[in-house]
Amino acid sequence: MDYYYDDYYDEYYEHPDQMAARLMQREFSFEETISNCVHPSIRFAAQYMTNFVAINLLFSILVVCIRKLFPIAHRSLHLLSCIFGATLLYRVIDHRFYHFLQLATSLYVVQWTLHRWLSGSGRYIKTPFIVIAYGIGNLLLSELLEPSPETWNRIRGTQMILLMKALSLAFDTEENQNLRSQLNVLSYTGYILCPANVVLGPWISFNDYLNIWKPSFGTETKHNRSFGRRLLIHVFRILVSALMAVGFLLTSNCMIDYLLSPIASWKWVRSYGRALSFRTSHYFIAYLSQCSMIAAAVDWNRAEDERSIMLPVTSLYRVSSPMAVEFPRSLVQVVTAWNIPMHLWLKRYIFRTTKRPFGTAAAIALTYIISSLLHGLHYRLWLTLLTIGSWTFVEHEIRKKLATIYSACVLVGKCPSACPVHQHRSKSVFCVVINALFFALNMFNLIYLGCIFETTEGPPEEADHDKTMFGRWTELNYASHWLLVFAYLFYFVI
C-alpha cells in the first residue's frame, strides 16, 4: 500500500523541541475537529470510494447478465474486465497510467518469449525466476527514472499488484499446460486490468479471476440460498467493509491526534500515535480493497462464503485482520494478518519454491528480500522488514526452546486446549506469564517499528536524509534493536 511524504515531518527533526511543545496542547476543540477534519475526511472517502464501488457493481451486474446470455463466451469477461479496469485506473491515477502500460506490456512480452523459445529446454534457471528478476529490475529502474516522486507514490501500490499478478502467472503457467492454453493477450489484459483489484489489490490468482465466469453455486448445492438472500448478504458485506474503511480513515486522520495530544509530550506516546495512525491508514486501504472485491463479485462466491452473514475468515476477499495485528500472540501473526493475500503469495511462490533447493533459512531471507523489493525503493520499509524478519526468527527459536525445556504451550502458534504434547497447558500460570511477556514485547515492537512511517508516507528523498530516516528510532535510542541483540544472546544462553 502506498503512503506519501509531507515536508511537515522534515521540520520535526530540525526543531524537535518546538514540535514536542506544540503537541502538548490540542490545536482544535472537539467541534473544530469534527468540522475541520471529520467532515473533509468523510467527503474524501465518499468521493474516492464511489469510483471503486460503482464501477465494480456495474461490472459485476453486466458479467452476470452476459454470462446468462453467452455462457461459454469467455472473451466477454475479458473485454468487460479490460473496459471497466481501464476506466477505474484512469479515474483514480489519471494520466499516470503509462508506467502501468509499460510494465504490463513488457512483462507479457518477456513471459511469452520465455515460453515460446525456452520452455522445456532443461535450463537451470526456470522461467518464473527470470520474470521475477526482470519485473523487479523494471520496477526499480522506472522509479529511479520517474522525475516526480509524487507521481510514483500514487502508483506504487498499483505497480506492485500488477507485478504480483504477472509473477504468479509465470509460476502457474510454468507446469500447468491447461492454464497456459487459456492465456493470450486478451485474457492476460483482462486479468491484469480486473477492476476488482487493479488499483488497490488484493492479489488473486489467474484461476480465481477465471472463476468469475464459473459461479460455484448450482441448484442442487447443499448450501444454496435464494438469489434474494444472497444479494442481501452481499450488499450487507459491501456496507460493512465501506463503514469499516471510513472508520479507520477517521481514526487515522482525526481521532488519534485528538485523543493523544494532551499527553503527547512523552516520546513513547508520540511514537504510539504515529504507529497507530500508520496501521489504521493501512486498514482503510485494506477494507476499501475488500469492499471493491466484494462489489465486483455479486455471483462470484464460494459455497463456504454464504454460510453466515459476516465474511468468513477464510474468504478470498479478506485482506487484513486488524484484531490479529493489534493484539498479537507473535510477530509471525502480525506478518500473516497484515496483508493476507500478499502473505499467501509470498508463501506459495517464493518461500515454498526456494525452500527445497536452498533450505529454510535462505528461503525466509529471500522471501523478505522479494517482499521489500516489490515495494520499490522504500528504504524505511526495507529496514523495517529486515528488523521484523530478525525478530520473527529469534522469537520463534526462543519460544521453541522454552516449550521444549519446560514442556509448555508457549510456541509461536497457539496449542489446542487439550494439548497432547506439553505438560504445562496454555492456561497454566507459567504459560500465561511467558505468553503475556511476549505479547508485551510484540506490542512494544509494533510501536517501535511503525513510528518511522507516516500516513503520508513515500520515499522521495530518503537516501539523502539519513537523519530523517532514522530520526524517530534515534529518539527512542534504537531500543528494539538493542533488545533484539539481547534476545539473540539469551537464545544461546538458555
pLDDT of residue 177 exceeding 80, the answer is: no
60 has pLDDT over 50: yes
Enumerate residues 6+ apart whose C-beta is below 8 A from 342. 164, 201, 202, 203, 371
Q: What is the pLDDT of residues 360-384, one digit of tens each?
A: 888 888 888 999 899 888 888 888 8
Q: Taking CA 94 as the corner, what is the angle to CA 154 and CA 109, rounded to the nearest 5 degrees?
A: 80
Give the CB-side neighbour count of residue 310, counting CA atoms within 13 A.
3
Alpha helices in 176-302 (DSSP H): 177-181, 185-192, 206-210, 227-250, 256-260, 267-295
Alpha-carbon gap, residue 466 to 470, rounded angstroms: 6
Helices (H), 70-215: 74-93, 97-113, 127-145, 149-175, 177-181, 185-192, 206-210
Task: Look up the pTM and report it.
Answer: 0.85
Give the span between the Cα atoms of 446 and 271, in whole angstroms: 10
Q: What is the pLDDT of residues 415-473, one digit of tens each?
A: 888 888 888 888 889 999 999 999 999 999 999 998 888 654 444 444 343 345 567 88
Whole-angstrom distance, CA of residue 189 vs CA of residue 101? 10
Identity at 88, one-letter amino acid code: L
Q: Which residue has the cell 504434547?
A: 421
**pLDDT tens digit string along 307-328?**
667 777 777 788 999 999 999 9
Q: Where are the domains of the chain?
A: 73-213
C-alpha cell of residue 353: 519454491
DSSP sequence for 304-318: GGGSSSSPPTT-TT-
Q: Are 320 and 182 in contact (CB under 8 A)?
A: no
Contact 476, 470 (CB under 8 A): no
What is the average per-residue pLDDT within 271-288?
A: 92
SS3 state at 408: strand
Choose the catalytic residue: 375, 396, 422, 424. Answer: 375
Question: Is 385 within 8 Å of 372 (Cβ atoms)?
Answer: yes
Residues facing 408 on adjacent strands: 424
Mark whether 375 is an active-site residue: yes
CA 318 to chain centroid, in Å, comes to: 11
Tens digits of per-residue pLDDT, 103-127?
999 999 998 888 777 665 455 567 8
